[in-house]
């Protein structure tokens, strides 16, 4: 556990513009900074960082928060990992409370699995580098593959001894729970005896996007043994192989920088290419590419190049992945290697420049790739040619962008020597069912949609109150209070008096006086949290306050706080358009909002009373008198509202 003292120092010393600036290119824009969203593919900046408020907001994805939230979103750190990252960045000593055996067992299951996996990773590395068996078998194998010690250490490669329960005994002796050892798949327990799942194998740790060890891939080196060559960790709370890409932690920055991701099949393919300087490479870990893996890549780039063996299995795996990538709206190219080579073997004896040159010259878009398969296998066979063309058109039909579809149709026409009209007709046939479904669904939705969409007035007013509290809650302003009284004719009138008050106190007392409660659950929670914070401390430190909220509430707050800064993205001043500052009319804004809320609630009450009169058949005089009083009050509020405006 990280001490509170360390966390407090991190919040005091970290600067959001410096933290975000390490990952996003920011440009000064007034009092803020702006840049392209790191979460979406955009050309116009919609990402704003406020040094004054110490928060950021991405208007394209809706995400926002403080420096911690950015690291958790962008780097996929856990909260403790984000704190440690910032502590290292600002040279803050990390104080941690001692975790004993009981604490380990009582920790959340997910975190416990991470802890066990880290212990195993350290164990395997130690056995590889320090034991005679590890050096003789594991280390010698890695060196034979051409891996340097630097690469071996970078990828955390290890070795599991042949002894049947060497790891399990040591793990249990160090206080690790049998339950978690079994759930990670590291140990197998039968009849009170333990067995190491990966015994006698070299170890490839599988890291998350943030660098945490999720599971392991293990390869046996003795081909005479009747057992699987490769063995992976079983599925667990922290490891789902369909959602993980091997090497993503080491490749993410380079993928984003080069705007392209190479996908290979095996662990050693990734390691070898990385060692040769091709660092934007990941592996599907021997499994078929999945939608979740594609989505993981899409967060970094929309361009994928598949690097697969030229054998039949490699070609089939490539063909399966192409349509999935296209349907995700991404661009895909394919590069196959000469017969008898995979990315690992091909790269071993070639330089960085030679590998880059080969990849550049031999990467083909998916149409060229399928066409090349035809030329090799079909030759002049018209049936196979037609089948290949249909497969290409089917791939084109999965692309969501219609403009891209048309471009690829024209490209296919030239390569395959088929008229565009024929291809467009075939594509239309492929899309026919989808178009019919979409049209039917759209007509149905249009019928359901009301002609006049009503704005939720109450939602907007409650949101405005939260905004005022966040932006101006601690400011002292002069307000014109309305004292309701009867004049000499016994008519209701409002007598104005001027009082000075803190904004949050004015709002709190007015809402309390009218017994008004928020109807929106999120705004209700935020209102109570803000008022509680201001009443206790007299101030609201935004980045600290954000950290106390759930992520959805944190997004609400950053959206509200940064909405006014959004104008800066459009550079209004350079166009001689002047946006009126809210802080110049704070008292007016507060009074207007509360009066509008009161008026709205009166309208709702009158409506409710009118409906009641329609239900009653007897005397309605008392209800009608109440309605009249509300109308008089509404008239007074309307007059006051007009003066405020």
Contacts of 620 (CB under 8 A, 6+ apart): 613
384-422 pLDDT, tens per residue? Answer: 778 778 878 878 887 777 777 888 888 888 877 788 888
**pLDDT value for 391:** 79
In which band, very low, low, confident or very high, does the pLDDT at 137 lie, cut at 50, 70 and 90?
Answer: very high
482-537 pLDDT, tens per residue? Answer: 666 666 776 666 677 787 888 888 888 878 766 677 888 888 888 888 988 888 88
**pLDDT value for 130:** 95
Residue appearing with tokens 């704190």: 83
List strands edge to edge, sheet with 32-35.
Answer: 27-29, 32-35, 47-50, 55-58, 64-65
Rounded Cα distance, 605 and 622, in Å: 15
Burial of 402 (0-12, 13-18, 19+ CB in 10 A): exposed
DSSP H stretches of helix in 474-585: 503-513, 521-537, 542-547, 551-563
Domain 4-89 in this protein, CATH class: alpha beta
Domain 248-424 falls under CATH 1.10.1740.110: no
Neighbours of 229 (CB within 10 A): 11
**pLDDT value for 379:** 61
Fold of 101-239: DNA primase DNAg catalytic core, N-terminal domain (3.90.980)
Contacts of 372 (CB under 8 A, 6+ apart): 364
Q: Is the pLDDT of residue 631 over 50?
A: yes
Long-range contacts of 102-107 (CB under 8 A, 24+ apart): 103/1, 104/175, 104/176, 104/177, 105/177
**pLDDT value for 207:** 93
Packed helices 67-74 and 79-89: angle between N→C axes, nearest 10 degrees: 110
**Segment among 3-7, 36-40, 598-602, 639-643 with least mean pLDDT:** 639-643
**Segment among 106-110, 275-279, 375-379, 565-569 with least mean pLDDT:** 565-569
Q: Is the pLDDT of residue 201 over 60?
A: yes
In which band, very low, low, confident or very high, does the pLDDT at 574 lie, cut at 50, 70 and 90?
Answer: very low
In the chain, what are the domain boundaries? Answer: 4-89, 101-239, 248-424, 457-567+580-644
293-351 pLDDT, tens per residue? Answer: 888 888 778 899 998 776 666 677 677 788 888 888 888 888 888 887 888 999 988 99
9-18 pLDDT, tens per residue? Answer: 888 889 999 9
**pLDDT value for 438:** 38
Burial of 100 (0-12, 13-18, 19+ CB in 10 A): exposed
């Amino acid at each position: 556990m990280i001490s509170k003292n360390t966390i407090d120092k991190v919040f005091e010393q970290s600067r959001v513009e410096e933290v975000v600036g390490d990952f996003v290119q920011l440009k000064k824009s007034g009092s803020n900074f702006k840049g392209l969203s790191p979460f979406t593919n955009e050309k116009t900046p919609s990402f704003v960082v406020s040094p004054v408020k110490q928060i950021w907001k991405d208007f394209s994805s809706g995400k926002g928060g403080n420096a911690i939230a950015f690291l958790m979103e962008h780097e996929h750190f856990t909260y403790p990992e984000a704190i440690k990252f910032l502590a290292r960045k600002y040279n803050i000593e990390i104080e941690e409370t001692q975790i004993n055996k009981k604490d380990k067992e009582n920790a959340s299951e997910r975190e416990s699995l991470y802890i066990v996996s880290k212990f195993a990773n350290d164990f395997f590395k130690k056995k590889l580098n320090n034991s005679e068996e590890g050096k003789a078998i594991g280390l010698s194998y890695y060196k034979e593959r051409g891996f340097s010690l630097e690469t071996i250490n970078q990828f955390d490669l290890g070795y599991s001894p042949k002894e049947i329960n060497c790891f399990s005994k040591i793990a249990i002796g160090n206080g690790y729970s049998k339950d978690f050892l079994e759930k990670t798949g590291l140990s197998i327990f039968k009849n009170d005896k333990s067995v190491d799942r990966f015994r006698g194998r070299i170890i490839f740790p599988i890291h998350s996007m943030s660098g945490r060890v999720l599971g392991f891939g293990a390869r046996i080196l003795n081909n005479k043994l009747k057992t699987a060559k490769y063995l992976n960790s079983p599925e667990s709370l922290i490891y789902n192989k369909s959602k993980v890409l091997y090497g993503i932690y080491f490749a993410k920055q380079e993928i984003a920088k080069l705007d392209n991701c190479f996908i290979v099949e095996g662990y050693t393919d990734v390691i070898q290419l990385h060692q040769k300087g091709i660092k934007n490479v990941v592996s599907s870990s021997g499994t078929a590419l999945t939608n979740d893996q594609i989505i993981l890549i899409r967060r970094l780039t929309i361009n994928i190049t598949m690097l697969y063996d030229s054998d039949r299995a490699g070609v089939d795996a490539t063909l399966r992945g192409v349509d999935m990538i296209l349907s995700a709206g991404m661009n895909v190219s394919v590069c196959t290697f000469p017969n008898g080579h995979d990315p690992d073997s091909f790269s071993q004896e070639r330089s960085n420049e030679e590998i880059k040159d080969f990849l550049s010259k031999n990467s083909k878009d998916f149409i060229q790739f399928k066409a090349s398969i035809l030329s090799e296998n079909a030759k002049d066979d018209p049936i196979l040619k037609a089948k290949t063309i249909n497969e290409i058109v089917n791939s084109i039909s999965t692309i969501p962008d219609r403009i891209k579809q048309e471009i690829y149709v024209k490209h296919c026409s030239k390569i395959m020597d088929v008229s565009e009209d024929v291809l467009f007709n075939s594509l239309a046939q492929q899309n026919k069912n989808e178009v019919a479904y979409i049209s039917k669904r759209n007509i149905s939705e249009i019928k359901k949609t009301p002609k006049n969409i009503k704005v939720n007035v109450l939602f907007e007013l409650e949101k405005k109150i939260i905004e005022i509290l966040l932006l101006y809650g601690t400011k002292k302003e002069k307000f014109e209070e309305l004292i309701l009284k009867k004049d000499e004719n016994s008519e209701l009138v409002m007598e104005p008096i001027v009082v000075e008050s803190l904004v949050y106190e004015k709002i709190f007392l007015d809402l309390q006086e009218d017994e008004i409660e928020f109807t929106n659950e999120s705004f209700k929670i935020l209102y109570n949290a803000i008022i509680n914070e201001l009443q206790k401390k007299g101030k609201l430190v935004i980045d600290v306050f954000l950290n106390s909220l759930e992520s959805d509430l944190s997004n609400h707050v950053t959206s509200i706080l940064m909405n006014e800064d959004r104008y800066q993205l459009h550079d209004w001043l350079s166009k001689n358009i002047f946006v009126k500052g809210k802080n110049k009319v704070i008292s007016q804004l507060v009074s207007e909002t509360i009066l509008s809320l009161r008026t709205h609630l009166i309208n709702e009450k009158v409506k409710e009373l009118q409906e009641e009169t329609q239900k009653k058949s007897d005397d309605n005089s008392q209800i009608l008198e109440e309605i009249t009083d509300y109308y008089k009050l509404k008239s007074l509020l309307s007059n006051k509202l007009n003066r405020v405006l």
